[in-house]
A and B are shown apart, each in its own frame.
Chain A
Amino acid sequence: MLAVAGLRVRLRTPAGHVTVVDGVDYAVEPGEVFGIAGESGSGKTISMLALLGLLPEGARVEGSARFGRHELIGMPSRQLRRISGRELAIVFQDPFTSLHPMLTIGRQLTEHVRLHLGLDRGKARKRAIELLEDVRIPDPAAALRRYPHQFSGGMRQRLAIAIALACRPRLLIADEPTTALDVTVQAGILRLLDRLRREHELSVVLITHDLGVMSAIADRVSIFYAGRVVESGRRHEILRDPRHPYTRALLDALPHPESTKGRELVAIAGMPPTPGRIPVGCAFNPRCGFVQDICRETVPPLSPVGERRLACHVDPFAG
């Protein structure tokens, strides 16, 4: 469905070009939810923007991203625009700014559908109502006439998903779709996404920093750190039995469901590196409890280890 290989993105800053994504490989199978996890600065969002040609001016991209039979990297923007929205759709984090504030929901939905599928007005309106029902917006006919600001954050995110799914895309990219939402609203959106992908045979790339969200809905997971993939594999394997020190530290830093008050959260010392100041060798080495000399010299390659892929020289939790 989607195969990313050797993706490298450099952004232009006043101080020169800075590498934000440094050699990323992953593959998304049809019908699966593929999770990309990482903290801010890990390059997870930029790598996705690179696929869609949404990078700021002066950015340089290398590598390949095959989507079906299309090569997304370097595709001319006209062609890219035809594909995105139609076969590939995206839902952003902020439900408050991702919808056009001055157009009614009906207009936004039908415009999208008419543009890409060439439906007439009547059919487009029917499709719009269908979509709203699908995302469980109450009273869809009335909703068509309303404006985004009249809906709550959770509802707006459902609307954004409806617009994204309007042309029955094969792949949906969701960038932190629930981060700005309350936990009960988040639960609703996660359930919605899960149901939709089963009903529509949709592949989903879910980008988030929340490992709980990842655990709830993803089939396979890729952990990003400082612009590289450090571990990837099936969700229950990676999250139940993390092998990369960063993944393990990340999970340890979360409040454990069975923990009692008074036990400290195991915070990872230090901070994630800023792009442009990534340590030599393994990017995690200054913060790693198992660091050895080789870690400070060579970048560990992402290699298969059992059923997963791991980028670690030491593999301290093996066996």
Chain B
Amino acid sequence: MSDVAVDLVRPRRRIRIPTEWRQPLAIVGVAIACLWILIAIFAALIAPSNPLAQIYPPSQSPSIHHLFGTDELGRDVLSRVIYGSRVSLPIALALVAFAATIGSVVGAVAGYFRGIADGVLMRLADLVFAFPPIILAMVVAAVLGRGLFNAALAIVVVAWPSYARVSRGLVLSVGDSEYVQSARLLGATSRRTLFRDVLPNVAGPIFVLATLDLANAILLLSGLSFLGLGAQPPQAEWGSMVAEGTQYFQWWWIGTFPGLAIFTAVLAFNFLGDSLRDVFDPRTARRIEEAES
């Protein structure tokens, strides 16, 4: 059916949770993500012991003394999992922010100037896209050398093109939109519309992409550490802990709990990103308004 009239919405002063956040998945996502962030922040207060201290009886199965058991070197697995969040989450956040910024700028430049700049930059992005992410990340990390910092850098190299593609696409489509044309007719320069009209429309989807990408980043980081290219022993990082666990399969708790940590964190950020996508879509926002008023 064609346009159904929407009356002017009276402003509501109290805070209300938008309807799409009331979906069970979204709530779960937000809750778990917040939980992990809190754990990362307050790790020192929550963790029962020093993650590096090899003071406990080794290879103990989970008990009330050690909820997640102890690993083969006598370290408390629970503490290591908790401290692991301090590695994975901040680094993932930082590298996603970095990749998103670089990627968006590259994409915006390509979309705005078009022509040769567009061609060169997008072919560069295509080059990265040609490789499976983990393989390319491995290669770059190996070239740069072991260590978390290098692993993070490798992931940035692998992650920026997605942002460039999205950003370029948006700059192109929004740039051709009628409201930008109107602004130009009213005397705005191309540059002015870029900052006033185009980029604000780009920010939303990029943000959503970044949130989803956080999950990928955590996974990639863990993957690289699993392969020995990221975090180095004795650092407590989920990926390398899972690697340890594969060597001691009979002591299942050593690998399983870090694995679960990765799983829940990744899942949570995925759900979060999905809900954010719904929030940012102006059409969904409109339907929400209609239904709520």
Contacts and interface: CB of A to CB of B under 8 A. Distances in A.
* Binding partners A and B: yes
A40 B291 contact: no
Given A14-B287, A14-B288, A274 B1 contact: no
B7 A277 contact: yes
A15 B288 CA distance: 9
B6 interface: yes
Nearest to B6: A274
B64 interface: no
B4 to A, nearest CB: 5
Contacts of A14: 19, 287-288, 291-292
A271 B5 contact: yes
Interface in B1-44: 1-7, 19
Interface residues of A, number: 13
A41 interface: yes
Contacts of A13: 290-291
A15 B291 contact: yes
Interface residues of B, number: 13
Contacts, number: 29
Contacts of B4: 40-41, 274-275
Contacts of A45: 1
A139 B19 CA distance: 54
Contact of B290 (A46, A271, A274): A274
B83 to A, nearest CB: 42
Contacts of A271: 5, 7
Interface string A251-287: 0000000000000000000011111010000000000
B17 to A, nearest CB: 12
Per CB-CB distance, the 5 closest pairs between chain A and chain B, nearest first, are A15-B291, A271-B5, A14-B291, A40-B2, A41-B4
Interface of B: 1-7, 19, 287-288, 290-292
Given A40-B2, A40-B4, A41-B1, 19 more contacts: A13-B290, A13-B291, A14-B19, A14-B288, A14-B291, A14-B292, A15-B291, A15-B292, A40-B3, A41-B4, A45-B1, A271-B7, A272-B5, A273-B5, A274-B5, A274-B7, A274-B290, A275-B4, A277-B7
